[in-house]
């Protein structure tokens, strides 16, 4: 499996962000929760937050509320995305 993501350390918290299709987040907590669980082995011990973009490129985050709020304030182009293969 290949995906876009990033590990970020901010304010003493280390977490992972993974790019998913918008329907994963829009599908509700069950579908999004399954996606978080599927990516968790790639980032053992770290909280995983999902990020999806709408057709205008506006990001939406799903995961730990404090991390999702923080990410919503960060410009998307400031996040150093990289490709992962698991």
Cβ(51)–Cβ(19) below 8 Å: yes
What does the pLDDT read at residue 71?
Answer: 97
Per residue in 5-29, pLDDT (tens digit) is 999 999 899 999 999 999 999 988 8
Which segments of the chain have a pLDDT < 50? none
Provide the edge-to-edge strand list for the sheet that holds 13-19.
59-62, 48-53, 13-19, 2-10, 82-85
What does the pLDDT read at residue 86?
Answer: 86
Cβ(10)–Cβ(24) below 8 Å: no
Query: Residue ranges of the alpha helices (H) in the chain?
Result: 22-26, 29-39, 65-72
The pTM of this model reads 0.94
What does the pLDDT read at residue 1?
Answer: 87
Sign of the Cα pseudo-torsion (43, 69, 58, 8, in order):
negative
């Amino acid at each position: 499996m290949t995906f876009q993501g990033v590990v970020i350390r901010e304010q003493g918290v280390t977490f992972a962000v993974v790019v998913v299709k918008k329907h994963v987040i829009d599908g509700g907590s069950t579908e999004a929760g399954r996606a978080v669980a599927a990516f968790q082995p790639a980032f053992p011990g770290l909280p995983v937050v999902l990020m999806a973009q709408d057709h205008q490129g506006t990001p939406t985050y799903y995961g730990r509320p404090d991390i999702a709020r923080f990410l919503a304030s960060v410009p998307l182009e400031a996040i150093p995305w990289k490709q992962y293969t698991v």
